[in-house]
Amino acid sequence: MRRKKDEYFIGMVDLYAANQKYKKMKRRRKNRVVLKRVLTIGAVCVLTAALVAVSYFAVIPAVGGLISMLDVSSTVAAASDGNDTEETLPATADETEPETTAPTEPATEPPTEPPTEPQGEYIKPVIADDGTDGVLHSSTLYLWNGRGFNLFSSTDKVAKNYSKTINDVAKTLGDKVTVYNMVVPNQTEFGLPQRIIQSGIKTTPQSDNIKCIYDNLSKDIVKVNCYNALSAHANEYIYYNTDHHWTSLGAYYAYTAFCEQTGQKAVDINTLEKHSIPGFTGSFYTATGNSSLAANADTVQYYDMPVNTYAYMKERMSSDTLRVSMYYPASTGGSLTYGVFCWGDTAQFVIHSEANTGKKIAVVKDSYGNAFAPYLTANYDEVHLIDYRYWSGNLKDYMSKNGITEVLFLNNTMSANTPSQVSLISDSVS
């Protein structure tokens, strides 16, 4: 039984009450019309009776007197000419059946206009396959060749919910803000061979899901396709073995796609100094304790950017703001090594750089954005990372206050298809 405070229950009660009120009003209008018609007919009848009476008591005797004086035929003809015409009462507005109006429905936003051009093709990767079998650890995790794979499953309805959310947020931000959207596939799309998927593993193509999302985004939103850039490097170290994140190399390829599709020059990774932290055993190993994952531990690599940087961090909205470096300097091997990027999942992390481009960008993101953001410092003077899972505030006001005119929504497919997380994105502008 629904509670009385349930929004759906309240909505149904309100709609029922509105319909009842409308029906009652319609009955009253109909009764008024019927009454007016009855009164009009009654008035006509009374007038007719009065005319008959006058004719009987006055006209007929007068005619009788005239008959004796005049020629019968001419008298009758004259009398006939004077009494053949009947008065026709003009129809009144009240007699006309009133126009009925359907009960007013709750106001709804007009559908977002779809993009004028369809999204391009998604290039499926060629995945190396040694013919060995893996093991299904759970309904969402498959282990194969010392690697973990998050199995993905969603529907078009869920994908369109994400599209609608981004559309609504973009509309709220206004036409002076350039909105980018990037949905990142996870490692299953580029690491698990079709032979294994076709053997009965329940996972759906993420390319179809991303295409559905992009096809339902407003034409004013820039849809960044990083899928093909990752697909072209599928057999490189673009995702971790023991963790659900992409590597800094995978994030770099997505960054080059972002630059190419937004008319910017990407920094050359081959010119950057690389640092490595071995012994990363991430979320898949933590969840399973699998020995093959332990034997295939990851190495986290990160790069010094060609410009000087520093950052201001708010771990949570209630935390003090601290000035820190872009990378967490004390990161070591273990289960939390991915936290080297922008100090992990913080509510707000603002990177300042000496790129001297005069540009600022906000990145509304899940944890995939942490490894991606450092590259943006080559193109923007300020990079404002907002993790909607922990951040609270009004995004439009925040961007206006900080002079930010570009925003990138960056989420992996799992986040983009999790309604509870998507609703938090919507909350950022409420």
CA distances from 110 to 107, 167, 171, 216, 217 (A): 9, 12, 12, 14, 14
Digit-coded pLDDT (tens) for 193-212: 999 999 989 999 999 999 99
Identify the sign of the CA torsion 400, 403, 408, 411: negative
Distance in angstroms (rounded) separating the CA atoms of residues 359 and 363:
13
Q: At what angle do helices 206-215 and 156-173 cross, to 10 degrees?
A: 40
Q: What are the tokens at 338?
A: 């991915």
72/191: higher pLDDT? 191
Domain range list for the chain: 7-95, 135-427
- Determine what percent of the chain is predicted with pLDDT higher than 90: 71
| pLDDT at residue 31, as a whole number | 64
The DSSP secondary-structure symbol of 327 reads B
> What does 250-263 look like in DSSP terms, one character per residue?
HHHHHHHHHHHHHT
Cβ neighbour number for residue 90 with a 10 Å cutoff:
5
- Can you tell me the distance from the alpha carbon of 261 to that of 25, in angstroms, rounded to the nearest whole number? 58
- Is 230 exposed, middle or buried (CB count within 10 Å of its CB: 0-12, 13-18, 19+)? buried
- The DSSP secondary structure of 102-157, one letter per residue, reads PPPPPP-PPPPPPPSS-------------S---EEEETTEEEETTEEEE-----HH
- Separation between Cα atoms, residue 412 and residue 389, nearest integer Å: 14
Round to whole Å and give the CA distance between 91 and 99. 16
Contacts 24+ apart (CB under 8 A), 358-361: 359/406, 360/384, 360/402, 360/403, 360/404, 360/405, 360/406, 361/404, 361/406, 361/407, 361/408
In the predicted structure, residue 11 carries a pLDDT above the cut 50: no
pLDDT-wise least confident of 34-48, 54-68, 103-117: 103-117
State pLDDT tens for residues 124-148.
999 999 999 999 999 999 999 999 9
pLDDT of 35? 67
Q: Is the pTM of this model over 0.75?
A: no
Phi, psi (rounded to 5 degrees) for 379: -120, -15
> Residue range 21-48: average pLDDT?
59
Angstrom distance (rounded) from CA 267 to CA 273: 12
- For 353, the enclosing helix (H) or strand (E) is strand 348-353
Span 279-331, pLDDT tens digits = 999 999 999 999 999 999 999 999 999 999 999 999 999 999 999 999 999 99
304 and 251 Cβ atoms separated by less than 8 Å: no
